[in-house]
Structure 1
Amino acid sequence: MRSYGDPCGVACGLDVIGERWALLVVRDLLLGPKRFNDLLAGLRGISPNVLAQRLRELAEHGVLRRRDLPPPARVAVYELTDWGRELEPLLLHLGRWGSQVATPPEGALGVDSIMLSIKAAFDPARASSAPGRVYELRVDTDAYCVQTADGALRVSRDPAPTPPDATLTTDLDTLRALCDHRTTLAAAVDSGSVRLDGAERAQRDLADLLLAPFTPA
Structure 2
Amino acid sequence: MQSEKITRRASAPRERRYDDACGTALALEFIGERWSLLIMRELVFGPRRFGEIRANLPGISANVLTQRLVSLGEAGIVLRHQLPSPANVQVYDLTEWGRQAAPLMRDMGRWAARSPRHDPLLFMSAASAMMSLQALVDHRRAAELSASVAFHFPGEDFVVTVTGGEIVVNRGVVEAPDITFTGDTMAMRRTIYGKAPLAKDGAGGTLAFAGAVDLTQSFVDLFALPAKTP
Give the 5 Å matches for 1:35-50.
Answer: 35-50=49-64
Superposition pairs for residues 19-98 of structure 1, below 5 Å? Answer: 19-98=33-112
Identity across the alignment (%)? 36
Query: AA paired with 1:112?
Result: A
Scaled by the length of structure 2, what TM-score is found? 0.81
SS of the residue corresponding to residue 224 of structure 2 reads helix
Residues 134-171 of structure 1 show CA distances to partners (whole Å, capped at 9, x for unaligned) of 111111221111012233111122213x4312111223
In structure 2, runs of 5+ residues without a counterpart are: 1-14
- Using the TM superposition, give the Cα deviation of residue 18 of structure 1 relative to its aligned residue in structure 2, in angstroms: 1.1
Distance 1:27 1:191 in 2: 29
Q: Structure 1 130/180 Cα, relative in aligned 2: closer, same or farther at 3 Å?
A: closer
TM-score where L is the length of structure 1:
0.85
Please say which of residues 180-189 and 194-203 is displaced more in the overlay.
180-189
Query: Partner residue of 1:185?
Result: 198
8 Å CA contact 2:143–2:166 kept in 1: the answer is no
1:114 alignment partner in structure 2: 129
Task: Kindly report the root-mean-square deviation, in angstroms, between the aligned alpha carbons of the 2 structures.
Answer: 2.6
> Greater helix percent: which structure?
1
> How far apart, CA to CA, are the structure 2 residues paired with 1:128 and 1:173?
27
Alpha-carbon shift at residue 3 of structure 1 (Å)? 1.1
2:169 is the counterpart of 1:129: no
Unaligned runs of 5+ in 1: none
CA contact (8 A) 1:62 1:84 kept: yes
1:202 aligned onto 2:215? yes
- Aligned pair count reads 213
Structure 1 runs of 4+ with >6 Å offset: none
Alpha-carbon contact 1:136-1:168 (below 8 Å) kept: yes
Deviation larger for 18-27 or 181-190: 181-190
Higher RCO (CA 8 Å, separation ≥ 6 residues): 2
